[in-house]
Amino acid sequence: MPNSDMADNRFAPKECRRCAHCCQPYFSLYVSAEDEARWQSEGRMDILERLAWERKNIIWKDDQPVHLATGEVALRCHWLKKDPDGTMACLIHATKPKICSDYSPGASELCIQYRKVREYIIGIDLHGTLLAPGEKFADELVVPIARELDRLKSKAVLWLCTGNDLSFVELKVPAPVREMMDGYVLETGCSVSRDQQTEEVITTWEERRTIKELEKLMRSMNFPELNYFAHRLTSISMFTDSPRPFYAKVKRIVDKTAYRDRVLVTYSSVAVDILPRGYDKHRGLSAVSDGRKTIGIADSANDLNLLLRSDYAFAPSNFARELEPVLLREGRKIAELSHLGSLEPNTLALAVAPETKGALEILRFLANHL
Ligand code: SF4
Ligand code: SF4
């Protein structure tokens, strides 16, 4: 389990990734009489007070610890803190509960390293999948989604996949959900963030130059349906209230330029995007997959390859139905998630609910069946 002493007592630094996945939300679960006696002798009233508080205020309900008065479910132990490098540290490392000190990385399912290789990588789209219209993430769904991601973490590597950039993810995705992620595929697969702090562009210099030239042309044109150009490093993203018709218009213009063979025009539920040809979210996910089986969860036209090329594909009920003929033509079956008892290759499984609720349904299915 993670610790806070960077100099000499980092817990098994070569093996422990200091992710805190093995730390339960309430440390009181782990406390023995021996621990309490030690804290008494050490005069650690802060720990004893917290212990008394948890024992008075936390009850177990539906297999999880719940705050008696508010009904809230905590996701992190009170003694965890995030270090500047993004890893987690235990604030009471020197005297933490014996169960915590004795735990070895990889010793049980609690640890993300329990299985030597996490066999799957899951790519989860944002707009129309994790985010509902208006770029909303309903407050009441934050903890349930984070909890399912937490259950999945020892089985799969988790990446957000979006047409947006790093600052957008920071702004729109609640921290408990971001903290469960291993990284982000950004700008529809043209860049990635492995540390969730820096963006790593994977397009070539020539491709970026093409995009910048085309962006200049697009900015010089008059589009009444355009709301704004979003800031991008290596793609063009034009936000609009009517992506489908705007896409047709932009594509007709691009097809008439010399850039047509070097770029791809696509759209999501909120924007028309132009990318260097050959890039998409599935390519971005594959670039970081280390050969794992891919699982795509997405809904829109710019997610086509994530749904088509992933080993397993899932969508919330608001899935862009115009993609159906393409998927069927390529030999994918389309099935209702509620009818499946296990992962079905070559199948797009549709949730009953739309957007964030549909994503929750899918994550729960995966946590139960991977
Ligand atoms: S006391 Fe420390 S090691 Fe134990 S669960 Fe809490 S943060 Fe993790
Ligand atoms: S889950 Fe494993 S890798 Fe992560 S902090 Fe715990 S022991 Fe370390």
Q: Give tens-digit pLDDT for 117-174.
A: 578 999 999 989 999 888 888 889 998 999 899 889 878 999 999 988 999 999 999 9
Q: How far is the CA of 184 from the centre of ligand 1 (A)?
A: 27
If residue 121 lies in a helix (H) or strand (E), which one and from where to where?
strand 120-125
Protein residues whose CB sits closer than 6 Å to any atom of ligand 2:
1-2, 16-22, 105, 111-113
SS3 assignment for 93-120: HHHCCHHHHHCCCCCCCCCCCCCCCCCE
Q: How far is the CA of 12 from the centre of ligand 1 (A)?
A: 15
| Residue whose CA lies nearest to ligand 2 atom number 7 | 105
Q: Which CATH class is domain 205-276?
A: alpha beta
| Distance (Å, whole) CA 211 – CA 235 | 6
| Residue whose CA lies nearest to ligand 1 atom number 5 | 23
Q: How far is the CA of 29 from the centre of ligand 2 (A)?
A: 18
Q: Give tens-digit pLDDT for 22-73.
A: 887 788 888 999 999 999 999 999 999 999 999 999 887 766 778 888 888 7
Q: Give tens-digit pLDDT for 239-279.
A: 999 998 999 999 999 999 999 999 999 888 888 999 999 99
Which DSSP string corresponds to 276-306? ETT--HHHHHHHTSTTPEEEEE--SGGGHHH
User: Tell me, what's the pLDDT at 11?
Assistant: 37
Q: What is the pTM for the complete model shown?
A: 0.70
Q: How far is the CA of 97 from the centre of ligand 1 (A)?
A: 7
**Domain coordinates of the chain in residue numbers?**
1-114, 120-201+279-369, 205-276
- Residues comprising the chain, all counted: 370
Kindly report the number of other CB atoms within 10 A of residue 17's CB atom: 15
Nearest atom of ligand 2 to the alpha carbon of 110: 1
| Distance (Å, whole) CA 303 – CA 272 | 13
The yes-or-no verdict on residue 209 having pLDDT over 70 is yes
| Distance (Å, whole) CA 128 – CA 299 | 6
| Among candidate residues 85, 74, 196, 236, the one with its CA nearest the CA of residue 146 | 74
The yes-or-no verdict on residue 5 having pLDDT over 80 is no
Q: Please state at what angle helix 33-42 crosses helix 45-57, rounded to 10 degrees.
A: 140
Superfamily of chain region 120-201+279-369: HAD superfamily/HAD-like (3.40.50.1000)
User: Tell me, what's the pLDDT at 4?
Assistant: 45
Tell how far CA 164 is from the center of its chain: 13
Nearest atom of ligand 1 to the alpha carbon of 1: 3
| Among candidate residues 255, 208, 256, the one with its CA nearest the CA of residue 234 | 208
Choose one of 18, 27, 88 to mutate for the ligand 1 pocket test, by most ligand atoms within 8 angstroms of C-beta. Answer: 27
Residue holding tokens 């992506």? 243
